[in-house]
Chains A and B, each alone.
Chain A
Amino acid sequence: MLEAPIPSQNESRANQAFDALLMSLSRPGDVQVLPVAGEQTIVEALLDRECRVYCADPMLMPGVLATGAMIAEADAADHVFFGNTIDPATLAQIRVGSDLYPDDGATVILRAVLGSGPRLCLSGPGIEHTKEVSLGGLPSGFWEQRRERIRYPMGFDLFFVDGDRVMGVPRSTQVEVL
């Protein structure tokens, strides 16, 4: 009988981080826990040489470069890391894919304050009726801009990171600011 393999530290971190991402995206508004605080585990779980990345956070840049991902402008990137500074002009350029290939829409990772700030009402797939969440640290007009840019199935998918907590809002979710 072969010995059961043991996952390396990298492998189990990536596995846990992806588990948190998948669960948070399939249940928008639910908070999941990343293995380590910050975006680094997300970078390791998702990015490699096949990705084009826009990274606005200089602290995150070494980690992104180490994956071999290509650095690109926001309008060509499939993964966008905003860090703390969310620039509405950049948000307006993010790729939304096409009706033929909705998977070309970008995955956007940004920092926010989970559990305080403006109240939002979420509905859509993954939510039984509606769900109310508080989300702070976003520029004013963020949700209006998102609504204008998304024409389902075209759109981008958001992950809000706060320390080691993450919350997903896919393009299929309707967000109402209360």
Chain B
Amino acid sequence: MSLSSLTKDWEPMSYGFLDASAKREIRRKMLKAVAVPGCQMPYASREVPMARGWGTGGLQVSLTLVNPKTTVKVIDQGADDSVNAASIRRFLARVSGAPTTLDTLEADLIQSRHRIPEEKLRADQVLVLQVPNPEPLRPVQPNMSIARQMHADADYGRMWLQLYEQIVRSGRVMQGASYPSLVNGRHVMTPSPIPRWDVPKLHMAEHLTILSAGREKRLHAVPPFTRVEPLVFDDVPYKVEEHGELICGRSGAKGFFMNEIPQDDGTSTYEISDSDYGVKTIRQAEGAQVHLGETWYKNGELS
């Protein structure tokens, strides 16, 4: 045994920014998260050159998975070109040498803030969602030790009560984003603040989804072909946003999740939230050869 056999070669920096021990810890936790779908696994959450709460959890998972052959796509509320998405994409490419893309169909690894792309993800793609608050029980139980015990006991009565109270007070479920969902019939998870429109996309999906909260230091996962059922009462069906009839003012795409843009005269116009799908629709209308993938929603209805 010599010193050189005990040490690794010198490197100017770790590949993919994170050091090897940080990656090994995240790897171990990702395996456990996949083995127990929807259960929050604590991890150390290392420092990355970005403030906690801006996607550091998703970034650490992406940095662990990335290699020079992974094509990376980063979206923020559906858009590829927002500041958060553009900076994370540039950082990932800079520290890993991975190619980047805006096209959902070309990507191997998709890191996303609060949206799932409209085009169906395939079995070979991995979706990484950034999570601000991984604990679905926090509104009803701020003490996280007690919340953990409630998860252990599958004691979700208060979640139902919260939904019931919303219906009694307002006539409908007021939860707009991060709709609590039962995973694999056992753990209630927050699907990160994706709109209700996106939650059914996780149910029995072909792709693996990893949800990681850097500030809260927890990650959970939804493996492929796993039941993800939004909590609903038998007589009050789950409703997605009524965007099925809306038409994008820029691309003409119809039947997808839209951003509402208020106008000076008090009315609103709409713009498709998945910016790349909008761009592809425009290019197709202009006569370019574009491949539009199969979408989860067809004519505004979940297929």
Contacts and interface: CB of A to CB of B under 8 A. Distances in A.
Across chains A and B, which 3 residue pairs bring their CB atoms closest together, nearest first?
A: A4-B97, A99-B152, A170-B35
Contact of B34 (A5, A6, A14, A26): A26
A107 interface: yes
Given A46-B31, A157-B31, 5 more contacts: A22-B65, A27-B224, A98-B152, A99-B152, A103-B41
Contacts of A170: 34-36
B15 interface: yes
Interface stretch (A53-61, A87-95, A122-130, A135-143): A122-130
Q: Interface size bucket, A side?
A: 35 or more
Q: Interface size bucket, B side?
A: 35 or more
Most A CB contacts (10 A, CB to CB) among B32, B33, B226 go to: B32
B186 A153 contact: yes
A21 B31 contact: yes
Contacts of B221: 26
Nearest to A79: B28
Contacts of A128: 204, 225
B149 A48 contact: no
Nearest to B30: A22
A100 B152 contact: yes
Interface stretch (B19-27, B133-141, B235-243, B272-280): B19-27
Interface in A134-178: 152-153, 155, 157, 170-172
A100 to B, nearest CB: 5
B37 interface: yes
A7 B68 contact: yes
Nearest to A126: B223
A22 B35 contact: no
Most B CB contacts (10 A, CB to CB) among A14, A26, A126, A128 go to: A26
Interface string B147-175: 01100110000000000000000000000
